[in-house]
A and B are shown apart, each in its own frame.
Chain A
Amino acid sequence: MRKIAIVGSPNVGKSVLFNNLTGSYATVSNYPGTTVEVSRGKGKIGDEEFEVIDTPGMYSLLPITEEERVARSILLDEQPAVILHMIDAKNLERMLTLTLQLLEAGLPVILVLNIMDEAQKAGIRIDSRHLEKELGIPVVEAVSTTGKGMDVLRGRIESYARAKS
């Protein structure tokens, strides 16, 4: 079974996305560092069933803490078919560095701009089509807590994974 790994800084909504994709429940909190261990579940996207992996938060591909090491080892050892890099759209600038590292490593990344509602409220406008061209990977806007953007994301995962196989 091919794998989908969800990565990103702490508290950007990885566990909510995990719950959404798998239909199971990992504890969700408004608190960084809640996920210390790796959660795994199964989720059907299109016609294919994937193993979905929720990882502890990571800031960089160069790990400092034990949990970052755990998250990286999943990327390095398990060769996921799709990596969903989730970021808080408000902090795009700071979190984009991990996207750049993942691309540098030649990994199959989809960038998820999450928490778009708060970004919009703060007056931030993001041209995600343009960002897609800049990075050369799919970019999806989402509000995972309300489910906004999830259908689009599923569609992008499906076509991305199909192109790879």
Chain B
Amino acid sequence: MPEQNPKKNESTGGCAIGYSDTLEVYIAKITELLTSKDYKISKRALALLLLQEDQEILKGVQEKDVQNFPLIEGIIQEAKRHYTQPLNYIISLRRQSEANQITSRIMSFGKSPLISMQERLSRIMMNPLTGGPILLFVLYYGLYKFVGTFGAGFLVDFLENKIFGNYINPWVTQWVNAVLPFKLLQDLLVGEYGVITLGVRYAFAIILPIVATFFFAFAIVEDTGYLPRLAMLVDQLFKRIGLSGRAVIPLVLGFGCDTMATMVTRTLPTKRERIIATLLLALAIPCSAQMGVILALLEGRPLGLVVWLGVIIFVFLLVGFLATKIMPGELPTFYMEIPPLRLPQFSNVLRKTYSRLKWYFKEIFPLFIFASLLIWLGQITRIFDFFVRILEHPISWLGLPSEAAVAFLFGFFRRDYGAAGLYDLKKIGLLSGNQLVVACVTLTLFLPCIAQLLMNVKERGIRMGIAMSVFILFFSFSIGYLVNLILNFLHISL
């Protein structure tokens, strides 16, 4: 049946849209049947949502208009039969044409400027040929140079050796030893794993400069609008391995914080996509803290960095590919709002860096202190040594010295804490290039922190969350083992 012209419905106010006469009849019929007084939005809007079979609204109406509900359902079915296209489509189309009409009356275009610099740059960023080099440029200067060399190299060295090494540690140690005559308490505060000499030092001298520079660089990149363009660029690659492009959004955000990004997987429309994205986030996307300390560990070993990156990308593609094979499903079409390129506002960048840093420190600082306490307790009771001895086996399979077991034990709390421990070992020259790469690979693949484990459980349910964690635990050690094996087999030393 041909559609009649839409008409204005005068009864519902100045600007209400009129739909086609046929649809208006269905709307009127449903509106009449909505008799409950509990509805918080207009009955007309409710009728339209019902016609589009909005599950939440259907449920609400079923509860509030129990008697009329079967009749309403009947009308919905009748309306659906009447149209060949989905009602959702018809209604949206009509609304868009109304919006277009209004816009045409109130909006005018002046001389449209030629393709702007911004637009040209934007296209260059999304083109696979030119986008790749730009990505490398951003990674090299933003990450490697700024976070790696400046943050993890220069700043850490300054805070660690100059401030803590020359001033704070000797001064505090002397003071504590003078005031507290008990060896046990001295160890708690200023011992090998002391709250101040280890916990506070890790937090302020190693983690703070690295994470601060990372957050700063990330905030700039984020505010320019580069990330959605990166998503479009990677989308083309993702489609080849059978992953939906939409998943790029939380995955890219994961480089900031995996825990937050896991929450953002809510924006993905299907359960299957959410599971795959959560797994990839937990496994192969290092968060800013991990990335920072890994850059610090591999600083001065560009070849090691390349191998580490290669392994992580390989694992990412492999697991993504396998996951999509195990859980096949239709690929949803990907479209995304591309915001314009903007010059970042310096004040916003600073404020964002500060607020993220504050949030991050609020979470890690108590944990670092708590871990120091726990280790102290573990040492007194000898439980600590027991765990370290157990861990030494898998550690030796990875070809790492037994001292690394301590770092891995820390790593169970938080990966950045563990990596900071490895950093200490690197400094005294205990780790070779190969060992550093193997340790970095294993620590990257690990779940980054307890918070993310909890978030996985919260978002994906207890069974899926635990299953993922167990898988990741074994998988990360296996890959570390393999990398060590291959490096040795090929007689490569990095």
Contact = CB atoms under 8 A, between A and B. Distances in A.
Contacts of B96: 94, 97
A80 B421 CA distance: 51
Interface stretch (B13-21, B133-141, B166-174, B302-310): B13-21
Nearest to A35: B264
Contact of B269 (A62, A65, A121): A65
A41 to B, nearest CB: 14
Contacts of A152: none
B187 interface: no
Interface stretch (A44-52, A104-112, A155-163): A104-112
A99 B266 CA distance: 25
A92 B16 contact: no
Interface size class of A (residues with CB under 8 A): 35 or more
Given A100-B15, A123-B111, A131 B106 contact: yes
Interface in B188-247: 219, 222-225, 227-228
A79 interface: yes
Contacts of A127: 106-107
A101 B339 contact: no
B267 A33 contact: yes
A108 B253 CA distance: 35
Contacts of A135: 14-15, 102
A67 B108 CA distance: 34
B264 A32 contact: no
A153 to B, nearest CB: 19
Contact of B267 (A36, A61, A96): A36
B99 A96 contact: yes
B337 interface: yes
A94 B99 contact: yes
Contacts of B249: 32-33
A23 interface: no
A11 B339 contact: yes
B351 interface: yes
Nearest to B97: A97
Interface string A15-39: 0000000000101111111001100
Nearest to B44: A104
B85 interface: no
A36 B263 contact: yes
Interface string B23-48: 00000000000000000111011001
Nearest to A76: B40
Interface in B315-367: 336-337, 339-340, 342, 344-345, 348, 351-352, 355-356
Contact of A32 (B12, B102, B108, B336): B336
Contacts of A30: 222-225, 339, 342, 344
A128 B107 CA distance: 9
Nearest to B261: A36
Interface string A53-83: 0000000111111110100000111010000
A31 to B, nearest CB: 5
Contacts of A93: 99-100, 103, 107
Contacts of A103: 13, 15-16
27 contacts: A11-B337, A25-B355, A27-B355, A29-B223, A31-B228, A32-B336, A32-B337, A33-B249, A36-B263, A36-B264, A62-B52, A62-B88, A63-B56, A65-B268, A77-B40, A100-B15, A101-B45, A101-B95, A103-B15, A104-B42, A107-B41, A122-B113, A123-B109, A124-B108, A125-B107, A130-B106, A136-B14
Interface of B: 12-17, 40-42, 44-45, 48-49, 52, 54, 56, 88, 92, 95-96, 98-100, 102-103, 105-113, 219, 222-225, 227-228, 249, 253, 263-264, 266-269, 336-337, 339-340, 342, 344-345, 348, 351-352, 355-356
Interface of A: 9-11, 25, 27-33, 36-37, 60-67, 69, 75-77, 79, 92-94, 96-97, 100-101, 103-107, 118, 121-128, 130-131, 134-136, 145
